[in-house]
Amino acid sequence: MSHKKQTSTKKRVLIVDDHPLLREGIARLINDQPDLMVCGEAEDRPAALAAADTGKPDLAVVDISLKDQSGLELIKDFKVRFPHLLILALSVHDESVYAERALRAGARGYVMKREASGKVLEAIRSVLDGKVYISSRIAAGILDKVTGYAAGATRSALDVLSDREMEVLMWIGKGYGSTQVAKQLAISVKTVEAHRANIKLKLNLSSSGELLQCAIGWAQHMGEI
């Protein structure tokens, strides 16, 4: 009886990541805690939405880079379908590029995968406690933007791009043509072409060749190729 009561008071966590070993590691870490429990795991958007519906999590830990899709879009889906669900973004990608985007999408925190397990647990508990969890470096960069100061090295030239444009740029860098990108993102080729034009305009790129060079460089920087 007491065991059931203890379980019912634990905060429920959903893990969304396309790497089974990483999911297993995070699940073990969470289930070892007296106040936390894993209520579901998923590797892609459909499974994540289904798990959130059936598992009734208090918090979802979402990888920014899921298989063939963006975790940012899943975060947005979560906020529409489950507005009270708290979300912590987890990623190998540079926080100076993605942390603010994750917060705009609806996450309440951002933590790098390379952080020690104690930091991941700290981030989970902070978000569950109603706080926003980001590193002091990113907090300073966001504050600089709000107060009108230049954020210097913490800002990326790609800040001018929308989340969808960032996705398109990444797929271009991986060598995908407009038709392939459209299929991956479930949008029309015409929409992809519009995104390509906007990216070139925003980044002051004069040709498709320059766009491709930029995209490849970015994909390499982010470890995607």
CA-atom Rg of the chain in angstroms? 19
Exposed/middle/buried for residue 40 (C-beta within 10 Å: 0-12, 13-18, 19+) = buried
Q: How many CB atoms lie within 10 A of CB 113?
A: 16
CA dist 225 and 205 (Å) reads: 22
Which of the residue ranges 7-11, 19-23, 105-109 would you say has the lowest mean pLDDT?
7-11
Per-residue pLDDT tens for 151-192? 343 346 677 888 899 889 888 888 888 998 999 889 999 999
Contact 65, 43 (CB under 8 A): no
Pairing of the two strands 86-91 and 59-63: parallel
| Percentage above 70 pLDDT, the chain | 82
- pLDDT bin (cut points 50, 70, 90) of residue 208 is confident
Residues in a beta bridge with 60:
14, 87
pLDDT 10s digits, 51-81: 999 999 999 999 988 877 788 999 999 999 9
Angle made by CA atoms 139, 145, 150, in degrees to the nearest 5:
105
42 three-state secondary structure: strand
Residue 223 gets the label, from left (phi > 0), alpha (psi -120 to 50) or beta, of left
Contact 199, 178 (CB under 8 A): no
* Close Cβ partners of 27 (under 8 Å, ≥ 6 residues apart): 15, 38, 41
Q: Is the pLDDT of residue 221 over 80?
A: no
Average pLDDT value over all residues in the chain: 83
Inter-residue contact 38 to 30 (CB < 8 Å): yes
pLDDT band at 24 (very low <50, low <70, confident <90, very high): very high
Domains and CATH numbers, the chain: 2-143 (3.40.50.2300), 157-221 (1.10.10.10)
Render pLDDT for 85-126 as a digit per residue (tens, 0 to 9). 999 998 887 667 788 788 888 898 899 888 888 889 999 999
Amino acid in the structure at residue 158: L
Q: What is the rounded distance in angstroms from the CA atom of residue 64 to the CA atom of residue 106?
A: 12
